[in-house]
Chains A and B, each alone.
Chain A
């Protein structure tokens, strides 16, 4: 909440920014925190109040609060926002994008129109996307081809798009609340999970799961989404500064994620108790064609059109 007090042209505003990521994650120290430093340094009357680590609630509920203006800015994955705008879930489809460059090229080319439609449906504005890392499997055994997933209970987040991804890849998905996941992995209720390398390491799932398979089956991205109720209170210079800072941070953040991912992976590679199935040891062509065949019948209407246009741009 804000009490707009006129201070020249720039009202004094405190913006609450939320995220699910803990402070040890690149999206905090190379994202949210950079944003705070840069915005506040400009003396535009803006203060950024940071709430990492799901302090303001789980993803879907935080996004609903962005819609009502109770949270000003949030870092959100696509699937949590897909209940308000289904097409954004399509961007989370497994192997919709071949790699992270494909993703950002698509965003830069089509993002403007796409995010305008999103804005009309949700009363929130996506300013840009920050990289979160490629989602890959960590499990009790290596996953090189779709058949390796058979009979392996893999935990996927409990949203329709993620569960569709499980089907598309041929995995036997188990739904387990994130609060119980560590224990469930430890006790063998699930034998694998999928997350970006940095997140897997931060949440200590790699303490239990010793085999990482770099399937890179989904571009993990966090959209920086701002409440329109907040934008309405801001002056033009404030908005420009905020948008510019978010765009500028994208590249730095990506480098940060890549560096941290490399660091974690090198640690795993150097550990004799672990196996890392490198990306060129994965039969990505088999995964991609399997996923494509699935989604071409799974999606319908506008979602299918969007999916096909993304694949066509690959």
Chain B
């Protein structure tokens, strides 16, 4: 789908839920709140920057060449900072075909493998982010001249958060997935 991460919350008929949904420990919740806060700030920045670009075309005094770069990098920041949050909240777009085929303990095994693969991929991306931070010590963005290594710390943080949350999910594989509703995100 084009928009919502609630890709298939209720796709398979859900088994009766024996346990209440797991709640993340306080530190992960605080971390998630910080991530969501940064992402909201990025959305607001995109809105204001693009609007500024429109207005400055008619009010030349407001012309500032950094504005489109600010908007572009906000989308990048938003995407990477939300990686861990969405893994932790079961909010990424996932194709849940297998839920039709396997049930019970087999589904738990699938979820363990899935979370383990997710953790490995996130960990590899953390390593890549670290390599990029080392590779471009001097490169800066064209207009705002932000050092690129600073920008690469955001995917580092996002994928690190993703790896941690994926590892947590390995241990939660036996529990039913909580329903993720984008409208109720916090």
A-side interface residues toward B, CB under 8 Å? 60, 64, 67-68, 83-84, 153, 158-160, 163, 172-175, 177, 189
Bound CA–CA A158/B140 (angstroms): 15
B143: which A residues are within 8 A, CB to CB? 158-160
Q: State the interface size on chain B (CB cutoff 8 A).
A: 16
Q: Which of A68, A83, A177, A189 contacts B68 (CB 8 A)?
A: A177
Contacts between chains A and B (CB distance < 8 A), count: 33
- The answer to whether B89 has its CB under 8 Å from any CB of chain A is no
Question: Would you mind naming 8 contact pairs between A and B with Cβ atoms under 8 Å apart?
Answer: A60-B142, A83-B141, A153-B57, A159-B143, A163-B65, A173-B63, A174-B57, A177-B68
Contact A64 B136 (CB under 8 A): yes
Chain B window 126-141, contacts with chain A (Cβ cutoff 8 Å), 1 for yes, 0 for no: 0000000001101111
Q: Does B53 contact A (CB under 8 A)?
A: yes
Is A189 in contact with B65, judged by CB distance below 8 angstroms? no
**B57, A83: Cβ atoms under 8 Å?**
no
> Which residues on B are within 8 Å of A, measured CB to CB?
53, 57, 60, 63, 65, 67-69, 135-136, 138-143
B53 contact set on A, CB distance < 8 A: 175
User: B57 — nearest CB in chain A belongs to which residue?
Assistant: A174
Given known A64-B136, A175-B68, contact A158–B57 (CB-CB < 8 A): no
B74 CB → nearest A CB, Å: 15
Q: Is the interface of A mostly helix, strand, loop or mixed?
A: mixed
Contact between B139 and A64, CB atoms less than 8 A apart: yes
> Which residue of A has the minimal Cβ distance to B69?
A158
Which residue of A60, A158, A189 has the most chain B CB atoms within 10 A of its CB atom?
A: A158
**Closest CB in chain B relative to A160 CB, distance in Å:** 6
In this complex, what residue of B is CB-closest to A151?
A: B60
Give CA–CA (A173, B60) in the complex, Å: 10
Inter-subunit contact A68/B57 (CB<8 Å): no
User: What B residues does A163 contact at CB under 8 A?
Assistant: 65
Which B residues are in CB contact (< 8 Å) with A172?
60
Quick one: which of A67, A83, A177 contacts B140, CB cutoff 8 A? A83
Bound form: Cα–Cα A60–B140 in Å: 11
- Cβ distance B3 to chain A, nearest Cβ, rounded Å: 22
A68, A83, A153, A160: the one within 8 Å of B65 (CB): A160
A175 touches B139 (CB 8 A): no
Interchain CA distance A159-B141 in the complex, whole Å: 10
A157 (CB) vs chain B CBs: closest residue: B142
Q: Which 4 pairs across A and B sit closest by C-beta, in order of nearness?
A: A159-B142, A163-B65, A83-B140, A175-B68
Interfacial chain A residues near B57, Cβ < 8 Å: 153, 174, 189
Q: B75 to chain A: closest CB distance in Å?
A: 13
Residues of B within 8 A of A174 (CB): 57
The docked-state distance in angstroms from the alpha carbon of A189 to that of B56 is 12
- Chain A residues near B63 (CB-CB < 8 A): 173
User: Roughly how many angstroms separate A73 CA and B53 CA in the complex, as a whole number?
Assistant: 35
Write out the residue numbers on chain A whose beta carbons fall within 8 Å of the beta carbon of B140: 83
Known: A153-B57, A175-B53, A189-B57. A158 touches B68 (CB 8 A): yes
